[in-house]
Amino acid sequence: MAHDDSRFTRRTTMRTGAVAAGLLALGGAGAGTAAAQTTVTGGGGALQAAIDAADEGDTLVIGDDETYDPVVVGVADLTIETGNDPVIEGAGGTGAAVSVDADGVTLSGLTVTNPGGLLGIKVEPDIDDATIVRNTVEEVGPTGRFGVTGIVVGQGDHDDITIVNNAIRNLDQETTDDSGFPTVNGILFDADNDDPETITDVTVNNNVIEGLESDASHRWGSWSSTPSTG
pLDDT at 229: 31
Residues found in the chain: 230
Strand partners, 39: 61
pLDDT at 180: 61
Considering the domain boundaries, does residue 28 fall inside one? no
Considering the domain boundaries, does residue 223 fall inside one? no
- Prediction pTM value: 0.79
Considering the domain boundaries, does residue 56 fall inside one? yes
Considering the domain boundaries, does residue 26 fall inside one? no
Considering the domain boundaries, does residue 222 fall inside one? no
Considering the domain boundaries, does residue 83 fall inside one? yes
Please count the structural domains in the chain.
1
What 3-state class would DSSP assign to 111? strand
pLDDT at 224: 39
Considering the domain boundaries, does residue 208 fall inside one? yes
- Give the residue numbers spanning the domain of 208: 34-214
Residues 6+ apart with CB under 8 A from 169: 136, 137, 138, 208, 209, 210, 211
pLDDT at 55: 98
pLDDT of the chain along its 230 residues, tens only? 444 443 333 332 323 334 433 333 333 444 456 789 999 999 999 999 999 999 999 999 999 999 999 999 999 999 999 999 999 999 999 999 999 999 999 999 999 999 999 999 999 999 999 999 999 999 999 987 778 999 999 988 999 999 999 999 999 988 765 556 678 899 999 876 667 678 899 999 999 999 998 876 544 444 433 333 32
**Residues 223, 199 contacting (CB under 8 angstroms):** no
Q: How many CB atoms lie within 10 A of CB 198?
A: 8
